[in-house]
């Protein structure tokens, strides 16, 4: 266990007497948690391959990188303390943003930890009660989450300390902890609740759809809030003017902060009570009522050794030509590339893991697209079509790469990564075609549809004049993705372990790559009126794509990352 | 006759741990080699080297005239490998998985598309051709893996515990298959812990212990050389150095040690 984990481990086990009262075996709890944390450090690090003794005690660079990213994200939160008229508004915005970020990370990065079926063979046969197992899993998630949450909240905490003093910042910290616990338990209680009432096979698909739905919902609310008014009005905005705001948990937390710091206590005590109440309630709900039966259900999710729900055997209908086969025959030439194309195509269509990690980002992009189109239609009367304000469209062009970026990253990770031995034992001279085949299939699946929608939308709205910018945007998106695949160690599809590593940085990582595309988008926007330049850049961009793809095709075995 | 597999002075170590020490072995076409040895003797390492999965070994491995260090690809083309752990992509159907294997071996599509259903049917999997393998039993997966090793019609078949998880009928099929393939001149490298099967299917037994070959010959010749008895007894004599018979009693006597259980503590 590294030092950071060790400190958090001790913190997590502080309320032992509470755990005991809830029927948890604390000795087993600390044991399970300790071993889970030890194992997190032992598994091959996806950033550094070397398993040298030197990193035994050190915190890996990846952990630090993630923490720095979280800190930078936290700096953005300071903005909330200068928007709006009053403290209640500041705090409501802060807690909304915080809960959103936390929920997104929980959903995209940590669901796999909760429903990790590797425990089945180890913990379930041992005499460990359900509450202990569930609590150990949740504490495990919390330890990982703390690494992100602490640096993320640090800037705001310092801000509160400077502006309002020590007591305020302590109260603020307390509420941040409460908010974290609340979101962890609420999201998990929903999972457990559903698991309690459905079959495991339905649960699998529920999770995927819930994640997408929730992500979309959160994102939509996030998108809509700042659009209530423009920035100048916004400075004078107070959340108290919006009556339905009292329904937002972030509003309760803001109210609780006011109570704790002695502001208007007569009218804020109930917010404090509400936050504490819901947090305690969700905790008890999970541990007391939902944890039992969780494990027995979990054991049914496992794929190993014959699914218990074998009544539902997945039969793949054998259409003579699926769309995947059709794409493969168009976009691939060599049989090897075609085989890899079809493999990635099918694998990503069926792997629950992959869907859990990629589909929520599809939700974000869909909402962004929807909102952009919606706003365009809404502005139909006011907009002068002769004034081509392409900023929203260009932003959309680049933002839609988010899904693809995520997909090309996740396609390489699988619980069944050991099955990748076939790539190594087969007479494959250069793994390049396997990598390009897999990459092309991700392009067909996650890039083509988006590109078509964007093209249709762009042409319909802006007319044929948009074509140069459309082409440049689409091509640049590809260059960014091709660079991501080409730079660094190349990876074969489904060949690297995933479930064994809590990839807590995945969500933030995607966000930062997005910042890079944002920069490219910004430059594109500055140049978008100069059609000749845009066309020239488009040609260069296409050449870059062609070169990158060729280089990728020439990948040698030595360049491939092995688990 | 020219040997189809020739290993000379083969050494391999993982860090400080020497796994193979000076392995010398010649295998001829049509032979069924029973490659046996205790856990950790180096069987799987030999197999991985032979399949081109491990390249950092010392010594030379020549298969059908191709040098493993120079031209591993040509060797991979004529070898079929069935690994011990049934690691395969469960979300695919057998047909899809085997199509992937065929693609990796660059088998023409028309050959693959006729061969795959035939081979699956031979193992009684015709009803499951388009079913995802995540619902398959261990035996069914093993059958798919066996087919994946045979699909490209290799000259050499390397089987690592091929019978694990198979039902009795399938065991008969595999044993029959091994002798039929051997009769056709194919070479079979059979790794197993199941001595009775090795005794029956192989016409030459190679016993590995601590990275070196300690016995090599037909079962009959080993018996005359090392005394009567089953292969199990010969195996035990050559690999345990007398530690063996005490193990069971040591295990049982371990219970007598002061044993404090949680419940005992509570009471």
The residue to which tokens 């080409």 are assigned? A486
Are B127 and A294 in contact by the 8 Å Cβ rule? The answer is no
Contact criterion met (CB < 8 Å) for A316 and B76: no
Average pLDDT over residues B209-220: 88
Q: Is pLDDT at B1 greater than 50 in this prediction?
A: yes
The one-character DSSP state at B142 is H
Are A186 and A282 in contact by the 8 Å Cβ rule? The answer is yes
Residue to test with chain B: of A31, A312, A351, A426, most B Cβ within 10 A: A426
**Given this model, what pLDDT does residue A56 score?**
41
**Given this model, what pLDDT does residue A90 score?**
85
> Which of A220, A222, A191 has the alpha carbon at shortest distance from A106?
A191
CA gyration radius, chain B: 21
Minimal C-alpha gap between B186 and chain A (Å): 19
C-alpha angle A430-A435-A437 in degrees, rounded to nearest 5: 110
Grade residue B27 by pLDDT with cuts at 50, 70 and 90.
very high
Contact criterion met (CB < 8 Å) for B89 and A426: no
| A403 contact partners, CB below 8 Å, separation of at least 6 | A358, A361, A362, A365, A446, A450
Tell me which residue range forms the domain holding A390. 331-559
The pair phi, psi for residue A555, each rounded to 5°, is -50, 135
Category of B23 on φ-ψ map: left (φ > 0), alpha (ψ -120 to 50) or beta: beta
- Give the separation between CA A445 and CA A448, rounded to whole angstroms: 6
Q: Which of A316, A343, A423 sits opposite B132 (nearest CB)?
A: A316
Contact criterion met (CB < 8 Å) for A422 and B100: yes
Contact criterion met (CB < 8 Å) for B53 and A424: yes
Are A486 and A551 in contact by the 8 Å Cβ rule? The answer is yes
Are B148 and B101 in contact by the 8 Å Cβ rule? The answer is yes
Contact criterion met (CB < 8 Å) for B83 and A336: no
Mark whether A271 and A369 lie in a shared domain. no
Contact criterion met (CB < 8 Å) for B135 and A306: yes
Query: Residue B35: enclosing H or E segment and its boundaries?
Result: strand B32-36
Are B8 and B24 in contact by the 8 Å Cβ rule? The answer is yes
Contact criterion met (CB < 8 Å) for A316 and B88: no
Please give the tally of structural domains in chain A.
2
**Given this model, what pLDDT does residue A117 score?**
66
- Give the separation between CA B184 and CA B172, rounded to whole angstroms: 18
**Given this model, what pLDDT does residue B265 score?**
44
Contact criterion met (CB < 8 Å) for B52 and A425: yes
Cβ neighbours, 10 Å, residue A410: 24
The one-character DSSP state at A560 is B
Residue of A nearest to B128 (CA): A315
Cβ neighbours, 10 Å, residue A232: 8
The angle that helices A335-350 and B94-104 make with each other, rounded to 10 degrees, is 150
Residue of B nearest to A351 (CA): B91
β-strand pairing of B32-36 with B187-191: parallel
Handedness of CA A401, A418, B101, B113 (dihedral sign): negative
- Give the separation between CA B169 and CA A20, rounded to whole angstroms: 53
In a domain, A35, yes or no: no
**In a 3-state reduction of DSSP, which class is residue B63?**
strand
Query: Residue A142: enclosing H or E segment and its boundaries?
Result: helix A130-164
- Burial class of residue B184, CB neighbours in 10 A (0-12, 13-18, 19+): exposed
> Which of B40, B78, B216 has the alpha carbon at shortest distance from B156?
B78
Highest mean pLDDT among A298-302, B55-59, B244-248: B55-59
The angle that helices A87-105 and A130-164 make with each other, rounded to 10 degrees, is 150
Residue of B nearest to A308 (CA): B135
Category of A306 on φ-ψ map: left (φ > 0), alpha (ψ -120 to 50) or beta: left
Contact criterion met (CB < 8 Å) for A315 and B74: no
Q: Which residues on chain A are in Cβ contact (under 8 Å) with B96? A: 316, 342-343, 346
The pair phi, psi for residue B214, each rounded to 5°, is -105, -15
Contact criterion met (CB < 8 Å) for B131 and A314: yes
Minimal C-alpha gap between B22 and chain A (Å): 24
Are B24 and B9 in contact by the 8 Å Cβ rule? The answer is yes
> Which of A212, A237, A192 has the alpha carbon at shortest distance from A93?
A237
β-strand pairing of B204-209 with B32-36: parallel
Contact criterion met (CB < 8 Å) for B87 and A418: yes
- Give the separation between CA A273 and CA A259, rounded to whole angstroms: 10
**In a 3-state reduction of DSSP, which class is residue B10?**
strand
In a domain, A462, yes or no: yes
Mark whether A134 and A243 lie in a shared domain. yes
Handedness of CA A1, A419, A447, A520 (dihedral sign): positive
Minimal C-alpha gap between A522 and chain B (Å): 41
| A291 contact partners, CB below 8 Å, separation of at least 6 | A130, A131, A133, A134, A135, A192
Q: Which residues on chain A are in Cβ contact (under 8 Å) with B85? A: 418
Any B CB within 8 A of A336 CB: yes
pLDDT in tens, A410-467: 898 887 888 888 898 888 889 999 999 999 999 999 999 989 988 998 888 888 888 9
Minimal C-alpha gap between B185 and chain A (Å): 22
Mark whether A284 and A153 lie in a shared domain. yes
Four-point Cα dihedral A366, A370, A376, A380, nearest 10: 160
Minimal C-alpha gap between A490 and chain B (Å): 18
The residue to which tokens 């392009």 are assigned? A443
Average pLDDT over residues B132-161: 89
Q: Which residues on chain A are in Cβ contact (under 8 Å) with B132? A: 313-316, 350
Any B CB within 8 A of A425 CB: yes
For chain A, what's the residue count?
Answer: 563
Mark whether A445 and A401 lie in a shared domain. yes
Residues in chain A, pLDDT under 50: 43-58, 228-229, 303-312, 381, 386-387, 499-502
Contact criterion met (CB < 8 Å) for B100 and A343: yes
**Given this model, what pLDDT does residue B266 score?**
45
Mark whether A292 and A351 lie in a shared domain. no
User: Biggest alpha carbon distance in chain A?
Assistant: 77
In a domain, A6, yes or no: no
Minimal C-alpha gap between A479 and chain B (Å): 28
Q: Which residues on chain B are in Cβ contact (under 8 Å) with A338? A: 103
Mark whether A553 and A496 lie in a shared domain. yes
Q: Which of A250, A281, A301 is the last residue of a domain?
A: A301
Q: Return residues 345-374 of A near B (CB < 8 Å).
A: 346-347, 350-351
CB pairs under 8 A between A and B: 108
The pair phi, psi for residue B47, each rounded to 5°, is -65, -45
In a domain, A423, yes or no: yes
The one-character DSSP state at A342 is H
* Integer angstrom CA distances of residue A433 from A405, A414, A428, A467, B105: 20, 20, 9, 32, 13
Structure tokens at A528: 């978008």
Structure tokens at A180: 């974290």
Minimal C-alpha gap between A58 and chain B (Å): 22
Buried b (16+ CB within 10 A) or exposed e, A140-153: bbbbbbbbbbbbbb
B149 or B170, higher pLDDT: B149
In a domain, A40, yes or no: no
CATH superfamily of B5-242: P-loop containing nucleotide triphosphate hydrolases (3.40.50.300)
Residue of A nearest to B88 (CA): A419
The one-character DSSP state at A490 is B
Q: Is pLDDT at B86 greater than 80 in this prediction?
A: no
Contact criterion met (CB < 8 Å) for A343 and B130: no
Mark whether A417 and A538 lie in a shared domain. yes
- Give the separation between CA A35 and CA A19, rounded to whole angstroms: 19
Structure tokens at A490: 């190349």
Mark whether A133 and A271 lie in a shared domain. yes
Contact criterion met (CB < 8 Å) for A342 and B99: yes
**Given this model, what pLDDT does residue A219 score?**
67
Q: Which residues on chain A are in Cβ contact (under 8 Å) with B134? A: 303, 307, 314
Structure tokens at B200: 């029956």
Four-point Cα dihedral A515, A519, A522, A523, nearest 10: -170
**Given this model, what pLDDT does residue A308 score?**
36
Q: Which residues on chain A are in Cβ contact (under 8 Å) with B157? A: none
Q: What is the DSSP string of A359-374?
A: HHHHHHHHHHHHHHHH
Q: Which of A307, A418, A419 sits opposite B134 (nearest CB)?
A: A307
- Give the separation between CA B34 and CA B202, rounded to whole angstroms: 5
Mark whether A272 and A353 lie in a shared domain. no
Q: Which of A310, A339, A425 sits opposite B99 (nearest CB)?
A: A339
Minimal C-alpha gap between B221 and chain A (Å): 35
Structure tokens at A415: 């619980």
Are B32 and B178 in contact by the 8 Å Cβ rule? The answer is yes
Q: Which residues on chain B are in Cβ contact (under 8 Å) with A340? A: 103
The residue to which tokens 């007391």 are assigned? A288
Are A437 and A338 in contact by the 8 Å Cβ rule? The answer is yes
- Give the separation between CA A147 and CA A180, rounded to whole angstroms: 12
Contact criterion met (CB < 8 Å) for B100 and A339: yes
Minimal C-alpha gap between A464 and chain B (Å): 42
Residue ranges covered by each domain of chain B: 5-242
Mark whether A231 and A342 lie in a shared domain. no
Are A350 and A206 in contact by the 8 Å Cβ rule? The answer is no
Structure tokens at A510: 């995607």
Four-point Cα dihedral A59, A65, A68, A72, nearest 10: -170
Contact criterion met (CB < 8 Å) for A351 and B91: yes
The pair phi, psi for residue B69, each rounded to 5°, is -75, -35
**Given this model, what pLDDT does residue A63 score?**
67
Q: Which residues on chain A are in Cβ contact (under 8 Å) with B105? A: 426-427
> Which of A28, A29, A53, A26 has the alpha carbon at shortest distance from A41?
A53
Q: Return residues 104-133 of A near B (CB < 8 Å).
A: none
Minimal C-alpha gap between A325 and chain B (Å): 12
Mark whether A130 and A259 lie in a shared domain. yes
A228 or B18, higher pLDDT: B18
The residue to which tokens 């040690």 are assigned? B257
Q: Which residues on chain B are in Cβ contact (under 8 Å) with A414? A: 89
Mark whether A257 and A340 lie in a shared domain. no
In a domain, A168, yes or no: yes
The one-character DSSP state at B24 is E
- Give the separation between CA A102 and CA A145, rounded to whole angstroms: 8
Contact criterion met (CB < 8 Å) for A419 and B89: yes
Q: Which residues on chain A are in Cβ contact (under 8 Å) with B101? A: 422, 426
């Amino acid at each position: 266990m590294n030092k950071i984990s060790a400190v958090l481990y001790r913190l997590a086990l502080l309320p032992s007497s509470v755990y005991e009262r809830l029927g948890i075996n604390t000795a087993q709890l600390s044991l399970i948690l300790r071993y889970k944390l030890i194992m997190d450090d032992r598994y091959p690090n996806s950033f550094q391959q070397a398993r040298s003794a030197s990193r035994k005690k050190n915190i890996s660079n990846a952990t630090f990188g993630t923490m720095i990213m979280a800190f930078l994200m936290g700096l953005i939160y300071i903005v909330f303390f200068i928007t709006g008229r009053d403290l209640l508004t500041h705090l409501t915005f802060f807690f909304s943003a915080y809960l959103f970020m936390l929920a997104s990370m929980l959903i995209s990065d940590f669901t796999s930890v909760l429903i990790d079926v590797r425990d089945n063979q180890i913990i379930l046969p041992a005499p460990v009660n359900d509450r202990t197992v569930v609590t150990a899993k949740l504490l495990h998630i919390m330890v990982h989450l703390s690494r992100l949450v602490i640096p993320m909240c640090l800037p705001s905490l310092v801000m509160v300390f400077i502006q309002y003093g020590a007591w305020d910042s302590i109260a603020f910290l307390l509420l941040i902890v409460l908010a974290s616990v609340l979101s962890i338990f609420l999201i998990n209680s929903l999972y457990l609740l559903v698991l309690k009432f459905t079959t495991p096979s339905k649960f699998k698909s529920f999770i995927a759809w819930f994640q997408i739905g929730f992500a979309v919902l959160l994102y939509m609310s996030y998108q809509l809030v700042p659009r209530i008014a423009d920035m100048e009005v916004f400075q004078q905005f107070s959340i108290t003017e919006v009556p339905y705001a009292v329904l937002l948990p972030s509003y309760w937390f803001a109210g609780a902060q006011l109570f704790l710091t002695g502001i208007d206590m007569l009218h804020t005590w109930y917010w404090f009570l509400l936050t504490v109440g819901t947090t305690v309630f969700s905790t008890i709900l999970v541990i007391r009522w939902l944890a039992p039966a969780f494990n027995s259900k979990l054991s049914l999710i496992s794929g190993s050794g014959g699914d218990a729900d074998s009544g539902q055997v997945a039969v793949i209908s054998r259409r003579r030509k699926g769309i995947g086969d059709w794409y493969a025959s168009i976009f691939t030439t060599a049989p090897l590339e075609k085989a890899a194309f079809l493999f990635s195509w099918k694998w990503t269509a069926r792997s629950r893991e992959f869907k859990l990690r990629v589909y929520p980002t599809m939700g974000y992009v869909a909402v962004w697209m929807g909102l952009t189109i919606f706003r365009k239609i809404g502005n139909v009367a006011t907009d002068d079509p002769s004034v081509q304000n392409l900023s929203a469209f260009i932003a959309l062009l680049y933002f839609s790469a988010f899904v693809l970026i995520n997909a090309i990253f996740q396609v390489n990770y699988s619980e069944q990564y050991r099955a990748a031995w076939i790539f190594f034992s087969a007479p494959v001279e250069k793994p390049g075609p396997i990598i390009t085949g897999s990459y092309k299939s991700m392009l067909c699946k996650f890039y083509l549809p988006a590109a078509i929608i964007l093209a249709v939308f762009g042409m319909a709205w802006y007319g044929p004049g948009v074509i140069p910018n459309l082409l440049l945007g689409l091509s640049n998106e590809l260059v960014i993705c091709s660079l991501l695949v080409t730079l660094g160690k190349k990876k074969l599809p489904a060949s690297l372990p995933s479930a064994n590593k809590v990839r807590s940085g995945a969500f933030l990582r995607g966000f930062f790559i997005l910042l890079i595309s944002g920069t490219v988008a910004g430059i594109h926007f500055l140049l978008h009126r100069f059609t000749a330049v845009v066309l020239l850049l488009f040609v260069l961009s296409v050449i870059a794509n062609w070169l990158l793809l060729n280089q990728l095709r020439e990948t040698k075995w030595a360049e491939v990352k092995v688990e | 006759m020219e040997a189809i597999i020739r290993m000379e002075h083969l050494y391999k170590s993982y860090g400080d741990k020497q796994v193979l020490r000076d392995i010398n072995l010649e295998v001829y076409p049509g032979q069924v080699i029973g490659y046996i040895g205790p856990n950790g003797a180096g069987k799987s390492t030999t197999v991985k080297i032979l399949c081109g999965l491990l390249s950092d070994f010392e010594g030379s491995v020549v298969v059908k005239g191709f040098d493993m260090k120079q031209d591993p690809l040509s060797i991979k083309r004529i070898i079929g490998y069935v690994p011990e752990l049934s690691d395969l992509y469960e979300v695919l159907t057998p047909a899809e998985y085997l199509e992937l294997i065929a693609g990796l071996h660059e088998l023409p599509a028309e050959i693959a598309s006729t061969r795959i259903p035939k081979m699956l049917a031979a193992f009684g999997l015709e009803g499951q051709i388009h079913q995802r393998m995540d619902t398959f039993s261990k035996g069914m997966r093993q059958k798919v893996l066996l087919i994946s090793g045979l699909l490209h019609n290799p000259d050499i078949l390397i089987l690592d515990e091929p019978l694990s998880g198979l039902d009795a009928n399938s065991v008969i099929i595999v044993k029959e298959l091994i002798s039929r393939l051997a009769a056709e001149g194919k070479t079979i490298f059979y790794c197993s812990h199941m001595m009775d099967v090795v005794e029956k299917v192989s016409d030459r037994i190679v016993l590995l212990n601590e990275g070196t070959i300690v016995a090599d010959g037909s079962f009959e010749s080993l018996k005359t050389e090392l005394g009567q008895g089953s292969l199990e007894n010969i195996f035990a004599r050559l690999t345990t150095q007398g530690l063996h018979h005490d193990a069971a009693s040591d295990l049982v006597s371990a219970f007598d040690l002061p044993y404090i259980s949680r419940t005992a503590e509570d009471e």
